């Protein structure tokens, strides 16, 4: 993959703050970058939004990991001070502890200045699918009370419509009678030719258990599910469902790292 990458761009670019604005950082000398390098570029770019003294939601996953590393590094260097992190998973909690990032929780800090997290899908309206790493519930609890929610992805995550990647849309459910709940979910989306599968561990085939001791049902759609808000509300009405992985109208900023550099898009809301 031939990619445009300016190695001096990280931490130095200006972010256009106009509503709906797009900013692209083109490169004079294209080089090949791995997907992980693109994730790192997006993660580091997002940390430019972090200011000393902020309460910061710390996302989960291979992209958010880079942002958390960067926050830890800037704290260590004394460039950032007074940061309080609210981790969105046990894994991120451990990572942040290892970086000496001061941590808190929603009970002590019910309002978060800024959250940074990855996504599995991003549609043209900046609606998201999250939770393929299993952390959707804590992520949604934290990111829905964040004044700013910066989403960081490489360009492979961009889709024309939610479900458009053909990969899973996760739903967290209670373990009790999970087959019944899975069947209810599949029936709800029969018009989209939905298949509902319990997420299992690759080797043992035991159910995957979330940080909240729940299960995940992955929904695979062959067609669009239409009105996302209506679909989300219908999922939440099924007893046994805890939360779904659609994050609608939540992202305030989208950072995409890809072939043509880094793009920053602000939501119109
Ligand atoms: O549960 C996982 C989270 O929603 C992640 O933010 C999402 O899966 C994206 O992860 P990654 O950056 O590893 O692709």
Sequence ranges of the domains in the chain: 22-159+249-266, 169-244
Identify the active-site residue in 139, 143, 172, 243.
139
CA 26 to centroid of ligand 1, rounded, Å: 26
CA 28 to centroid of ligand 1, rounded, Å: 31
Rounded to the nearest angstrom, the gap between the alpha carbon of residue 9 and the centroid of all alpha carbons in its chain is: 23
β-strands 146-154, 112-117 pairing:
parallel
Ligand 1: does its nearest atom lie under 6 Å from the Cβ of 119?
A: yes
- Pocket probe for ligand 1: among 119, 211, 247, the residue whose CB has the most ligand atoms within 8 Å is 119
For residue 37, indicate whether it is catalytic. no
Rounded to the nearest angstrom, the gap between the alpha carbon of residue 248 and the centroid of all alpha carbons in its chain is: 12
Query: Which residue's CA is the nearest one to ligand 1's atom 3?
Result: 131
* Calpha distance 169→174 (Å, rounded): 17
Given the cut 0.85, state whether the ipTM is greater than it: yes
* Calpha distance 99→231 (Å, rounded): 39
* Calpha distance 84→233 (Å, rounded): 33
In the chain, alpha helices (H): 35-47, 64-76, 90-98, 136-143, 178-188, 228-236
- Closest atom of ligand 1 to 61 CA is 13
Full pLDDT tens readout for the chain, 269 residues: 333 333 333 332 333 333 344 455 555 455 689 999 999 999 999 999 999 999 999 999 999 999 999 999 999 999 999 999 999 999 999 999 999 999 999 999 999 999 999 999 999 999 999 999 999 999 999 999 999 999 999 999 999 999 989 899 999 999 999 999 999 999 999 999 999 999 999 999 999 999 999 999 999 999 999 999 999 999 999 999 999 999 999 999 999 999 889 999 999 75
Question: CA gyration radius for the chain?
Answer: 19
Q: Which CATH superfamily is domain 169-244 in?
A: ACT domain (3.30.70.260)
Q: What is the pTM of this model?
A: 0.89
CA 131 to centroid of ligand 1, rounded, Å: 6
Q: What was the pLDDT predicted at 242?
A: 98
Ligand 1: does its nearest atom lie under 6 Å from the Cβ of 170?
A: no
> Which candidate, 243, 26, 227, places its Cα nearest to that of 143?
243
Q: What was the pLDDT predicted at 3?
A: 36
**CATH 3.40.50.1360 given to domain 22-159+249-266:** yes
Ligand 1: does its nearest atom lie under 6 Å from the Cβ of 131?
A: yes
Tokens of 139: 């992520």
Tokens of 269: 């809301």
């Amino acid at each position: 993959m031939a990619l445009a990458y300016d190695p001096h761009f990280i931490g130095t670019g200006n972010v256009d703050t106009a509503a709906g604005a797009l900013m692209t950082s083109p490169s004079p000398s294209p080089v090949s970058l791995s997907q992980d390098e693109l994730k790192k570029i997006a993660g580091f770019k997002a940390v430019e939004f972090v200011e000393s003294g902020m309460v910061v939601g710390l996302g989960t996953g291979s992209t958010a990991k880079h942002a958390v590393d960067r926050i830890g590094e800037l704290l260590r260097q004394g460039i950032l001070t007074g940061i309080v992190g609210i981790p969105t998973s046990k894994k991120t909690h451990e990572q942040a502890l290892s970086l000496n990032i001061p941590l808190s929780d929603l009970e002590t800090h019910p309002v978060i200045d800024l959250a940074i997290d990855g996504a599995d899908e991003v549609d043209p309206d900046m609606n998201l699918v999250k939770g393929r790493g299993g952390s959707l519930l804590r992520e949604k609890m934290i990111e829905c009370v964040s004044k700013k929610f910066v989403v960081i992805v490489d360009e492979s995550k961009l889709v024309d419509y939610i479900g458009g990647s053909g990969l899973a849309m996760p739903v967290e459910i209670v373990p009790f009678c999970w087959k019944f709940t899975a069947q209810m979910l599949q029936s709800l989306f029969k018009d989209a030719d939905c298949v509902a599968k319990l997420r299992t561990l690759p080797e043992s085939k035991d159910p995957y258990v979330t940080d909240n001791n729940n299960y995940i049902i992955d929904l695979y759609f062959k067609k669009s599910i239409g009105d996302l808000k209506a679909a989300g509300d219908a999922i939440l009405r099924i007893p046994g469902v805890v939360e779904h992985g659609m994050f609608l109208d939540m992202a305030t900023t989208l950072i995409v790292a890809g072939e043509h550099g880094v793009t920053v898009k602000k939501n119109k809301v």
